[in-house]
């Protein structure tokens, strides 16, 4: 049986930590209104989560770091005004696993 060093155990835990869910404070907002999002991970090892938006009308941070010991991390979402109802896909990726949700912008 092989014994892993503390550093190897930590690296393995981080590699196993994946994005499990992506949620929004509101699924629909008036364009120009700020809201928040949260990403849930499969374990509490601490990891960097990449974020992206399918539209320039919705701005999210490039990434957030969920600290060791936590399974969730939140982030601010900025939106811009739209001329018609617009549905935007938001995505969060941790260790190769991506989860998505939709945010609807209204006039």
Q: How do residues 19-38 score in pLDDT, each as one tens digit?
A: 889 999 999 999 999 999 99
Please state, in angstroms and as integers, the Cα–Cα distance from residue 45 to each residue in 14, 32, 72, 77, 82, following that order. 6, 35, 11, 25, 39
Give 62's DSSP letter. Answer: S
- pTM recorded for the entire structure: 0.85
Classify the C-alpha dihedral 20-26-32-33 as positive or negative.
negative
pLDDT tens digits, one per residue of 45-95: 778 999 999 999 999 999 999 998 899 999 999 999 999 999 999 999 998
């Amino acid at each position: 049986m092989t014994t892993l060093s503390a550093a190897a155990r930590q690296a393995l835990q981080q590699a196993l930590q994946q994005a499990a869910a992506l949620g929004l404070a509101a699924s629909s907002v008036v364009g120009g209104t700020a809201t928040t999002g949260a990403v849930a991970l499969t374990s509490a090892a601490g990891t960097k989560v990449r974020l992206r938006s399918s539209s320039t009308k919705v701005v999210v941070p490039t990434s957030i770091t969920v600290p060791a010991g936590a399974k969730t991390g939140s982030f601010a979402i900025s939106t811009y005004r739209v001329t018609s109802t617009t549905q935007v896909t938001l995505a969060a990726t941790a260790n190769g696993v991506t989860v998505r949700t939709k945010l609807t912008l209204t006039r």
